Amino acid sequence: MRALAFSLSLFGLLTFSTVARAHPRPRPSGPPELLFTFDDGPAVGKTPKILDALQAHHIHAVFFVNGRHLLGNKKVADESRALLREEIARGNAVGNHTIHHYFLCGHAYSKLAPEEIEGNAALIQQATGMRPDLFRTPYGSHCRSIKALLASLGIHPIGWDIDPQDWRLRNPAKIEAYVESHLRHLQGRNILLMHDIQGATVVALPRILDWIDQENAARIKSGRVPIKIIDYSYLLPRHELVPPLLDARGRVLIRAAARAADGPIWLWPQVAWLMGQV
Ligand SMILES: [Zn+2]
């Protein structure tokens, strides 16, 4: 068990160092903002408690889910699919975190990456009726092959800034202390990574949310900028609107723009004739 734990932590070190080399993130600056993200679920019995805690504080998070929980016709798979619908119904976003959480930059699993990503998107769509816009690689792994694959799929992976490693600590007090130590000096827009499959996180989250309320009350009282809890909307692909154009008769032609991220904005001419408008 200890050997397994050691190899897992060594694996973690290797993967995290891979991330650090490949994607050095600039230190965020500006007013403190925080986005909550929860990975590896859904977990029947735990995720609902996370959802309740978030809702009690009017927070919308991102859940990066693994489709392995949704496979098959067993009761737990049904309940997991219902949990995804519940996450969305409460204003959260469901993101893609692959089916089996393999290390996709590893030699053995890199060939499975397309099915792990697209298959999970299909499982999420079957459960929720919506294809996920957001994606996070398991272990945050990045390498040439996964980068090329994600680019071909038009996917921009979402990383994180604050990682209490709740899966390793498994102690609510330590998780809470780690997160709060970072929030005390928070600058700019930060993404917090936790796991809704961890029992310790279920206990720690309400305490962290209460602490943020108290911290913000103290900040407002002393004239400091409070920590703003943000939702996932800023992570979504941008859709730019194009100013309406007039046709020869002076009617307004509404046109939709393709995603700005796809390069030059190519317009899809159509959509509606609005008689009488100028
Ligand atoms: Zn994960």
* pLDDT-derived band at 226, boundaries 50, 70, 90: very high
Q: Where are the beta strands (DSSP E) in the chain?
A: 33-39, 62-65, 93-96, 189-195, 228-229, 245-246, 252-253, 256-257, 267-268, 273-274
* pLDDT-derived band at 277, boundaries 50, 70, 90: very low
Question: pTM for this structure?
Answer: 0.78
Q: For residue 139, what pLDDT is reported?
A: 94
Q: Is the pLDDT of residue 270 over 80?
A: no
- Cα(136) to centroid(ligand 1), Å: 8
- Cα(138) to centroid(ligand 1), Å: 5
Task: Say if CB 253 and CB 244 are below 8 A apart.
Answer: yes
Mean pLDDT of 34-46: 98
Residue 203, preceding peptide bond in cis (omega within 30° of 0): no
Taking only the tens place, the pLDDT of each residue in 121-149 is 999 999 999 999 999 999 999 899 999 99
Residue 150's contacts (CB-CB under 8 Å, 6 or more residues apart) are 117, 135, 156, 157
- Cα(81) to centroid(ligand 1), Å: 18
- Cα(229) to centroid(ligand 1), Å: 22
- Pairing relation of β-strands 33-39 and 62-65? parallel
In residues, how long is the chain?
278
Q: How far apart are CA 197 and CA 76, in angstroms?
A: 14
- Cα(97) to centroid(ligand 1), Å: 7
Q: How far apart are CA 169 and CA 49, in angstroms?
A: 20
Task: Say if CB 141 and CB 18 are below 8 A apart.
Answer: yes
Q: For residue 234, what pLDDT is reported?
A: 81
Count CB atoms within 10 A of the CB of residue 14: 12
Give the chain's domains with CATH numbers.
Answer: 16-234 (3.20.20.370), 238-274 (no CATH)
Q: CA angle at residue 205 from 200 to 207, to 5 degrees?
A: 105
Q: How far apart are CA 42 and CA 245, in angstroms?
A: 47
pLDDT cut 90: percent of the chain above it? 68
Please give the mean pLDDT across all residues of the chain: 83
- Cα(88) to centroid(ligand 1), Å: 20
- Cα(111) to centroid(ligand 1), Å: 19
Q: For residue 183, what pLDDT is reported?
A: 98
Taking only the tens place, the pLDDT of each residue in 243-255 is 555 555 555 554 4
* pLDDT-derived band at 189, boundaries 50, 70, 90: very high
- What per-residue string of b and e applies to 24-48 under the rule 16 or more CB within 10 Å gives b? eeeeeeeebbbbbbbbbbbbbebbb
